[in-house]
């Protein structure tokens, strides 16, 4: 097939724009050929269970799924009764970018809290952690945090542990949306288990697509007592892959030889390079709105500048009314991509 796009073109819109990592494509090819039992009874999915235990702990149970929305919705559904509610940041992906799927598919209630940096704290959680036993209120029985957050910020292991202790003391459970969990691991310099299992997280939505997978994520249950029915809910929510070996093979490859950290470390470094390049100049009208702790840069631009830049580089508005934009880097972003983009930004701000 003749390529329909320029394979050397890269943007700063989303790490989802990147293709599949060559090592992931090789893993798919190696898993191909012959027959394997469908719907997860294959040797690759069996091996994935062991790999996830190596990273997250011996009690881990892993359920590969198609996508992040499916992972979040199915995981949260397994944690709650029909009358349950989930406390989360107002900026959380599960609230802003999943088209009401938690409410419509699961029937759960999201209780959202405003945060300055996308991060919950025990005090912020307590704004919605009340009303147990009140039949007129959805019962807050779970908290969902994201690491790294939708604002590109990072929870420390101490912050997660404090939230977990606070949540568990109130009879709630803790879910971690890990769409960019490898970026968090790389930025923290920790293993996956150190800021999840050891910090008290109960269940993780493990992301792969933003870090080089062709498709596929996983629900990783760290405390089996916190989740029920995933064997059935995954199928009910249309997340059970018939040829699951290809999802599992990708996840195995991602977690082998530290590919997940290698890729995420590079993506994080490219965001830092972009920020440092721009901060090293006196550029009128450019203001950064969040700390750059992983692979996202948030900034405010003067009127018209974003649209001028988008004539060459695709990226998204985060808050159009405030002229706030988001620039994302990926595992395949190159230094020359960053430098070219920084020069274009500088030129647009000084013309």
Angle between helices 259-279 and 335-350 (to 10 degrees): 30
Report the half-sphere exposure of 340 (CA within 13 A, side-chain side).
11
Among 206, 232, 254, the domain boundary falls at 254
Domain with 266 in it: 259-350
pLDDT by 10s per residue, the chain, length 351: 899 999 999 999 999 999 999 999 999 999 999 999 999 999 999 999 999 999 999 999 999 999 999 999 999 999 999 999 999 999 999 999 999 999 999 999 999 999 999 999 999 999 999 999 999 999 999 999 999 999 999 999 999 999 999 999 999 999 999 999 999 999 999 999 999 999 999 999 999 999 999 999 999 999 999 999 999 999 999 999 999 999 999 999 999 999 999 999 999 999 999 999 999 898 999 999 999 999 999 999 999 999 999 999 999 999 999 999 999 999 999 999 999 999 999 999 998
| Domain containing residue 277: CATH number | 3.90.1150.10
Q: Measure the N-to-C terminal CA separation of the chain; round to a whole number of Å.
A: 43
**Same-domain check for residues 238 and 191:** yes
Q: Measured between alpha carbons, how far is 349 from 282 in angstroms, rounded to an integer?
A: 10
**Same-domain check for residues 62 and 123:** yes
**Same-domain check for residues 55 and 135:** yes
In a domain, 6, yes or no: no
pLDDT of residue 1: 86
In a domain, 12, yes or no: no
**Same-domain check for residues 272 and 144:** no
**Same-domain check for residues 64 and 153:** yes
| Domain containing residue 67: CATH number | 3.40.640.10
Residue with tokens 């093979």: 249
Question: What phi and psi, each to the nearest 5 degrees, are found at residue 314?
Answer: -85, 130
Strands (DSSP E) found in the chain = 61-65, 84-89, 109-113, 139-146, 173-178, 203-206, 217-221, 287-288, 296-300, 316-319, 324-328
CB contact at 8 A, 124 and 113: yes
pLDDT of residue 351: 81
Rg of the chain taking only CA atoms, in angstroms:
20
Q: Is 50 helix (H, G, I), strand (E, B) or coil?
A: helix
| DSSP conformational letter for 297 | E
Closest alpha carbon to 164 in 193, 202, 127 = 202
**Same-domain check for residues 199 and 65:** yes
Task: Give pairs for 111-115: CB < 8 Å, separation 24+.
Answer: 111/85, 111/86, 111/87, 111/138, 111/140, 112/87, 112/88, 113/87, 113/88, 113/89, 114/89, 114/90, 115/89, 115/90, 115/91
Q: Is 325 helix (H, G, I), strand (E, B) or coil?
A: strand
Q: Is 204 helix (H, G, I), strand (E, B) or coil?
A: strand
Q: Measured between alpha carbons, how far is 105 from 14 in angstroms, rounded to an integer?
A: 26
Cα 72 from chain centroid? 10
Question: CA 342 → CA 123, 134, 248, 331, distances in Å?
Answer: 39, 54, 38, 18
Tally of domains in the chain: 2
**Same-domain check for residues 148 and 297:** no
**Same-domain check for residues 27 and 165:** yes
Q: Is 300 helix (H, G, I), strand (E, B) or coil?
A: strand
């Amino acid at each position: 097939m003749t390529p329909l796009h320029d394979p050397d073109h890269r943007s700063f819109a989303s790490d989802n724009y990147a293709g599949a990592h060559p090592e992931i494509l090789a893993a798919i090819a190696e898993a191909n050929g012959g027959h394997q039992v469908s719907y997860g009874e294959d040797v690759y999915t069996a091996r994935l269970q062991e790999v996830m235990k190596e990273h997250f702990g011996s009690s881990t149970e892993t359920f590969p799924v198609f996508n992040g929305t499916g992972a979040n919705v199915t995981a949260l559904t397994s944690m709650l009764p029909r009358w349950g509610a989930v406390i989360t940041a107002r900026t959380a992906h599960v609230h802003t970018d999943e088209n009401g799927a938690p409410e419509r598919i699961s029937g759960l209630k999201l209780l959202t809290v405003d945060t300055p940096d996308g991060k919950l704290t025990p005090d912020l959680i307590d704004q919605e952690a009340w009303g147990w036993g009140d039949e007129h209120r959805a019962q807050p029985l779970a908290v969902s945090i994201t690491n790294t957050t939708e604002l590109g910020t990072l929870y420390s292991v101490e912050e997660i542990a404090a939230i977990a202790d606070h949540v568990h003391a109130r009879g709630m459970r803790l879910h971690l949306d890990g769409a960019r969990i490898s970026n968090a691991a790389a930025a923290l310099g920790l293993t996956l288990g150190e800021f999840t299992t050891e910090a008290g997280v109960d269940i993780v939505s493990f992301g792969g697509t933003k870090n080089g997978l062709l498709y596929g994520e996983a629900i990783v249950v760290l405390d089996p007592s916190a989740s029920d029915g995933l064997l059935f809910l995954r199928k009910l929510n249309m997340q059970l892959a018939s040829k699951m070996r290809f999802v599992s093979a990708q996840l195995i490859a991602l977690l082998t030889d530290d590919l997940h950290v290698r890729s995420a470390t590079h993506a994080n470094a490219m965001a830092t390079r972009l920020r440092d390049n721009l901060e090293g100049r006196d550029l009128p009208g450019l203001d950064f709105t969040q700390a750059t702790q992983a692979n996202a840069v948030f900034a405010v631009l003067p009127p018209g500048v974003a649209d001028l830049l988008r004539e060459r580089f695709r990226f998204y508005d985060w808050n159009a009314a405030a002229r706030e934009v988001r620039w994302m880097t990926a595992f395949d972003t190159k230094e020359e991509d960053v430098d070219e983009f920084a020069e274009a930004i500088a030129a647009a701000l000084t013309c």
